[in-house]
Amino acid sequence: MSRALERIPIILRRWLLPSLAVGLATGVVVACIDFLIYRILWIHVSRLASNSMLLCMLMPAAGLCAAGFLISASGEEEVRGAEEVVRSYHTHIPMRGRRSIALHLLSTIPTIGFGGSAGLEGPSICAGGAIGSALPAKVKCIRLKREDRCTMMLAGAAAGIAAIFKAPLTGIVFALEVPFKNDLAHEALIPALVASVPSYMVFAKLAGAEPLFAFRRHELLTVEVLVASALLGAASGLLAVAFVKLYRLVRGLFRGRAPLPAKTLAGGLACGALGALSTLLAGRPYALGSGYELIRASLAGELSTGQLAAMVLLKSATTVFTLGSGALGGVFIPMIAVGAALGGALAELGGGPIDLYAALGMASFLAAGYKTPLAAVAFVAETTGSSSYLIPCLVASSVSYLLSGGFSVSDEQRPHKEVRVAELAKLRVSDYMTTKVVCVPAEATIAEFISKYLLKHRHRSFPVVKEGRLVGMVAVDDVVGVPEEEWRHRTVYEVATREVIVAYPDESLSDVLDVMEKYDIGRVPVVDPRDPGRIMGIISKTDIVKAEAKLAGLSD
């Protein structure tokens, strides 16, 4: 058998056959998990929660507490699910052992099945990634290098998404987009394509091929629709930033020495209370579970504007409490649900077609919060089955993606491709920084700053010094809000940012670029590591772009 496999052409042996096997196996695993959670547990839990306020409050707590015990038993409480796949792709460190992955996957059953606000796409990505990572290591004749096994892991993640959403194109695009905020893992295209199709076919055969949602067709593409798409995209972008900030705040609150089951129990109690509130307001616990019921209710126009607005807040809160407390699950479909409710609410206010607005909200909110705009549009295109939604969703997603900046629910995403990061990691700040730094005296007035520095040198930010030592940074945004009549009386030091983000001469350009992306700043002062008040230079994004251009010229 081994010799027969050796005679297979290398392109088949290296990519096509392994990707096909990964897709088939992932489809079976995801179908089994889907059956346990949605066909056995959640269908009964949701009915009980709708009829009993007490059960509505207690079931999520019980489920999340059980999940906490399972995760604790694995011995691995950090970087789980879809996040682990992204981390492993970037670091080339293999995913954790089979026992740990199995326990993590099992933990999603009580989490989602008992009402935790999380999606099955998280464990589907994890299962697919684990299969994609393990298969090449077990079959010797495949002989994949470590980085190729990471590519195969993304193919498994694509297969997981393709199966659970019955959307192979979404799976392919998601696998290419999710590792980066502003780039694509293009090397995974063919493996992801080959793995996604059989995974979808197997899942559809086992779980049914009916579409997830029912949409009406909209053939008119007017200027009014495009303007509404842009406005809804802007609203989604702002809401996504708030969602990410809330998620990180809640996750920070749950970081501590308390046992994980105690944390998830607290998160479950919070979810239960919010779920009970959603039942009081809307008649059903729409804030609990993955969010499919909320999406369908939003599309059907079953909820009023006030109810939809309340569901936006409640569904966001239950999601951040579920995942922020330490439980495992996906954030893709809960974000889709929040976006659908947002779009439905705005449709009710503006009098537009509710299913179109809901689709716009679904695509734009996910695009902004997860930094996967193409996958978000592909998801809507595949689930609606109509190309008429495509252009409006592209407009809405582009606006929300740009407006939300670098905010993402994923901590493991990187701004750019690893190749670029690896090249910039070899370059030191000291070789590319500007040593002649224009500094603003702390005692200078805002009027002096504008006339002598801002208009003259055309930088957006400047170091502020007092007696030759760095004491802050002042930027255009710091003085914009100051009334003009106060410019001659108030000093730069009064409005400057005191907590300065700094760089050191021996730091790599990749590290500095990550800091710039994280804090959305364009210039960073370079200081002496032994004397942080002494400015040695300044590094800007322009300097890094020039370094990249130089690298590109050398490589060509």
User: CB-based contacts of 392: which residues, under 8 Å, 6+ apart?
Assistant: 221, 225, 226, 228, 229, 356, 359, 360
Closest C-alpha among 333, 329, 369, 332 to residue 81: 329
pTM score: 0.75
User: CB-based contacts of 315: which residues, under 8 Å, 6+ apart?
Assistant: 117, 278, 286, 287, 291, 294, 334, 337, 338, 341
d(CA 528, CA 364): 44
Closest C-alpha among 446, 453, 493 to residue 473: 493
pLDDT in tens, 316-365: 999 999 999 999 999 999 999 999 999 999 998 877 889 899 999 999 99
pLDDT of residue 137: 62
User: CB-based contacts of 74: which residues, under 8 Å, 6+ apart?
Assistant: 96, 99, 100, 103, 104
| Amino acid occupying residue 484 | E
* Helices and strands counted in the chain (H then E): 26, 5
**Where do we find the tokens 């709708």?**
50
Whole-angstrom CA distances from 434 to 499, 521, 545 are: 22, 16, 14
Provide φ and ψ at 166, rounded to 5°.
50, 45
The edge-to-edge listing of strands for the beta sheet with 461-466 is 440-441, 461-466, 469-475
Tokens of 299: 């599309």
User: CB-based contacts of 533: which residues, under 8 Å, 6+ apart?
Assistant: 469, 470, 471, 527
Side-chain-side CA neighbours of residue 468 (13 Å) = 3
**What's the distance, Cα to Cα, between the start and end of the chain in Å?**
44
pLDDT of residue 45: 86
| Amino acid occupying residue 511 | D
CB 238 within 8 A of CB 251: no
pLDDT of residue 180: 87
Tokens of 99: 């026992």
3-state secondary structure 152-214: HHHHHHHHHHHHHCCCHHHHHHHHHHCCECCCCCHHHHHHHHHHHHHHHHHHHHHHCCCCCCC
CB 393 within 8 A of CB 377: yes
User: Which 8-state DSSP code applies to residue 93?
Assistant: P
Any alpha helices (H) in 325-371, and if so which ranges? 332-350, 354-370
Sequence length of the chain is 556
pLDDT of residue 554: 44
pLDDT along the chain (556 residues), means of 10: 50 75 94 91 85 91 95 72 82 71 89 94 92 73 67 93 95 93 86 95 92 76 90 97 96 87 96 95 93 93 94 98 94 97 91 89 96 94 83 96 92 70 81 94 94 87 94 90 90 93 92 81 93 94 78 48
CB 370: neighbour CB atoms within 10 A? 26
pLDDT in tens, 477-507: 888 889 989 999 999 999 999 989 999 999 9
User: Which 8-state DSSP code applies to residue 354?
Assistant: H
Q: Is 164 exposed, middle or buried (0-12, 13-18, 19+ CB in 10 A)?
A: buried
CB 104 within 8 A of CB 80: yes
CB 395: neighbour CB atoms within 10 A? 22
d(CA 477, CA 194): 49
Closest C-alpha among 117, 546, 53 to residue 313: 117
d(CA 227, CA 350): 12
Tokens of 498: 């005191």
CB 461: neighbour CB atoms within 10 A? 22
| Amino acid occupying residue 214 | A
Whole-angstrom CA distances from 441 to 524, 537, 543 are: 17, 16, 24
pLDDT of residue 379: 94
Tokens of 4: 């027969």
Question: Domains plus CATH for the chain?
Answer: 2-207 (1.10.3080.10), 223-403 (1.10.3080.10), 418-555 (3.10.580.10)
d(CA 151, CA 176): 10
pLDDT of residue 157: 95
Tokens of 548: 């990249």
CB 141 within 8 A of CB 43: no
